[in-house]
Amino acid sequence: MMSEAGVRVKVPASTANLGPGFDTLGMALSLYAWIEMKPADTTEIHLYGDQMLGIPTNKNNLIYEVAQSVFREAGVDLPELEISMYSDIPLTRGLGSSASAIVGTLVAANELIGAPLDQAKLFDMATALEKHPDNVGASLFGGLITAVWDGSHADYLRIEPPDDLEVLVAIPEFQLSTAKARQVLPEQVSLGDAVFNISRTSLFTAAMASGRLDLIRTAMKDRLHQPFRASLVPGMARILEEAAEHGALGAALSGAGPTLLALTDRREGKGTELEHFLLGVLNEQGIEARTIWLRPCTQGAQTLTITKGEQFIDSIKGEIRA
């Protein structure tokens, strides 16, 4: 049954890997995108905000294509749609912008037709599109997730991030595609490096689950991807090495980068020093960047109520950053 009033979904950004958990760990962040979908006579796509510049507004738009896949999977006739989207999540910076668009669209399209698909199915569809479950899992379920993908099905466990955890992201001006950041990775790794990462990923997950923030510094180290990606983000190696001396619990490349992420304990109040350190190191390398303080977002993609007669952009104006 099609909802005539339409559906609006708010979906969080995410960071993947958190250092050692390559392609398995993801955490939702308090930075958001909104997607609205309504049945229409002809398909129209409205994109708002600077992050959306240059994205197609015809039926080649990712959102439109992903919505069609939900209707096909549910065996529903493909409807014409009026789609609106606004995002505060910067594109190709390692903060899960495409994952949030995919998850927001899957949830909205599914809700529009009475939610015939369950969350597990939406997670599998999202992971098949992204090829790894970390960002999409975090955007769909919120919190911190650890996930496994076998090529057709994803299993996951969601952990509530500790209350005192804060996240500082330093977002470079330049873009870095995930494809490029994966091309630099080796096909094979040594047993020693595999053990190094398995042990730290396990420790990180257990430390988060039990609130042991003191273990984050050791647990966030990685040998599988960051050393190879360091050349793509000048200054990164020094930030990962020294951030803990400037107030971070630990630091990592956010997803495939180029954003750098530092976790902090908000009770320690060392944010200003850390922010100066991150920006200073990047600026020394000639990289312009901006910082944003975020919190882990404990809620995944959520469906919002649409008030009759209210315009999409007016209704989210109080919540957006721009």
Task: Write down the number of H helices and E strands in the chain.
Answer: 11, 11
Cβ burial of 18 (10 Å; 0-12, 13-18, 19+) is buried
Binding flag, residue 178, ligand HSE (CB under 6 A): yes
The shares of helix, strand and coil residues in the chain, as percent rounded to the nearest 5, are 40, 25, 40
User: Segment near ligand HSE (CB under 6 A), from 60-68, 74-82, 174-182, 310-318?
Assistant: 174-182
Binding flag, residue 17, ligand HSE (CB under 6 A): yes
User: Segment near ligand HSE (CB under 6 A), from 17-25, 33-41, 55-63, 81-89?
Assistant: 17-25
Residue from 135, 146, 226, 264 that binds ligand HSE (CB under 6 A)?
135
Residues with Cβ within 8 Å of 269's Cβ and at least 6 positions away in sequence, in order, are none
Q: Least Å distance between CB 83 and ligand HSE?
A: 24
Q: Least Å distance between CB 308 and ligand HSE?
A: 38
Nearer to ligand HSE, 256 or 301 (CB): 256
Please give the full DSSP string across 162-204, using - where no structure is assigned.
Answer: PTTEEEEEEEESS---HHHHHHTS-S---HHHHHHHHHHHHHH
For residue 81, what are the β-bridge partners? 39
Report which DSSP code applies to 206. H
Nearer to ligand HSE, 14 or 264 (CB): 14
Rg (CA), the chain: 20
Q: Least Å distance between CB 1 and ligand HSE?
A: 35
Q: Least Å distance between CB 164 and ligand HSE?
A: 26
d(CA 215, CA 44): 50
Q: Least Å distance between CB 99 and ligand HSE?
A: 7
Q: Least Å distance between CB 179 and ligand HSE?
A: 9
Q: Least Å distance between CB 176 and ligand HSE?
A: 10
Binding flag, residue 255, ligand HSE (CB under 6 A): yes
Binding flag, residue 145, ligand HSE (CB under 6 A): no
Nearer to ligand HSE, 225 or 246 (CB): 225
Binding flag, residue 93, ligand HSE (CB under 6 A): no
d(CA 113, CA 117): 10
Find, among 242, 280, 234, the residue nearest to 258 by Cα: 234
Residues between 256 and 295 with contacts to ligand HSE, criterion CB under 6 A: 256
**∠ Cα 132 218 228 (to 5°):** 50
| Residue found by looking up tokens 């994952």 in the block | 99
Residue from 111, 134, 166, 222 that binds ligand HSE (CB under 6 A)?
134
Q: Which residues bind ligand HSE (CB under 6 A)?
A: 16-17, 22-23, 132, 134-135, 178, 181-182, 225, 255-256
